[in-house]
Amino acid sequence: MIDDGRALFQQIAENVSDSIIDGSLAEETRAPSTNELAAFYRINPATAAKGVNMLVDKGVLYKRRGVGMFVSAGARDLLRRERQESFADHFIEPLLNEADRLGLTPDDLVTLIQDRAPQHSSTGDAR
């Protein structure tokens, strides 16, 4: 997890986001504290706090005074929409551009995807 060249706080925010998206961290439940994250990943608490604050700024997490950080209602949908938009920008647009250069139609792309889809599970576990 903590080694792909991106800033640690971004990786922390993404890991918490992943837990929200996959449902292991449900809406309106307590999120890990900055100290818990720092201890788990063996990083500076300020770095963990920066990642948590990114999610607070997005409205994904909120603080209950004296209790801790919690996952906001609607956080999962918000994160899924954000990830879908990022997916489209980073994968679909380049795919469409390359398909255009190759003279492939949208129907050709659908056929290519359908031909390869059985190799992958619907949950995204197969790679």
Q: Work out the number of other CB atoms within 10 angstroms of the CB of residue 76.
A: 19
User: What is the reported pLDDT for 126?
Assistant: 45
CB 38 within 8 A of CB 48: yes
User: What is the reported pLDDT for 121?
Assistant: 63
User: What is the reported pLDDT for 4?
Assistant: 74
Encoded amino acid at 42, one letter: R
- Cα 38 from Cα 31, distance rounded (Å): 13
Q: Which distant-in-sequence residues (6+ apart) come within 8 Å of 49 by Cβ?
A: 34
User: What is the reported pLDDT for 5?
Assistant: 82
User: What is the reported pLDDT for 120?
Assistant: 74
Residues of the chain with pLDDT under 50: 125-127
- Residue 37 Cα distances to 32, 81, 90, 103, 111, angstroms: 6, 25, 29, 49, 44
- pTM for the model stands at 0.79
